[in-house]
C-alpha cells in the first residue's frame, strides 16, 4: 500500500506495522527517482509519502528532524525504528 498524504494527518497511519514514511519535497529530483522503486518493495511494507513543506505537523514524527530529501523512516506501530538509506531502496538491499 502506498499513500500520498493529502492532509496533515500522518498520525492516522502510525499504528501500521512495517510502515515506511518517505519525507519528500516537491521538485526534489532524488524523490522523483525513488518513487517508482517504492512500488517494488515487499508487500509487507506500507508506504506513506509526506510532502514536508505542505504537511509540517507530520514531520514531527521523525526524531531529529529532516536534514535532506528524501528522508525515509521505518516505524513499527507508532515507534520509530530507524532511518532507511535511499540507496538501499534503489539498489534493492532493503528487505
pLDDT of residue 95: 67
Pairing outcome for strands 71-76 and 19-24:
antiparallel
Tens digit of each residue's pLDDT (9 = 90 or more) over 15-38: 999 999 999 998 999 999 999 999
Tens digit of each residue's pLDDT (9 = 90 or more) over 35-57: 999 999 999 999 999 999 999 99
pLDDT of residue 91: 83
- Which pTM does this prediction carry? 0.92
> With bands split at pLDDT 50, 70 and 90, how would you rate the model's confidence at 72?
very high
Around 37, how many Cα atoms within 13 Å sit in the side-chain half-sphere? 20
Contacts of 61 (CB under 8 A, 6+ apart): 10, 11, 14, 21, 73, 75, 80
Amino acid at each position: 500500500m502506498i499513500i500520498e498524504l493529502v492532509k496533515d494527518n500522518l498520525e492516522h497511519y502510525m499504528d501500521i506495522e512495517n510502515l515506511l514514511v518517505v519525507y519528500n519535497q516537491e521538485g526534489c529530483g532524488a524523490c522523483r527517482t525513488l518513487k517508482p522503486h517504492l512500488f517494488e518493495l515487499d508487500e509487507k511494507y506500507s508506504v506513506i509519502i509526506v510532502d514536508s513543506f505542505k504537511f509540517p505537523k507530520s514531520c514531527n514524527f521523525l526524531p531529529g528532524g529532516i536534514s535532506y530529501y528524501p528522508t525515509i523512516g521505518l516505524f513499527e506501530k507508532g515507534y520509530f525504528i530507524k532511518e532507511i538509506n535511499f540507496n538501499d531502496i534503489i539498489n534493492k538491499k532493503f528487505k
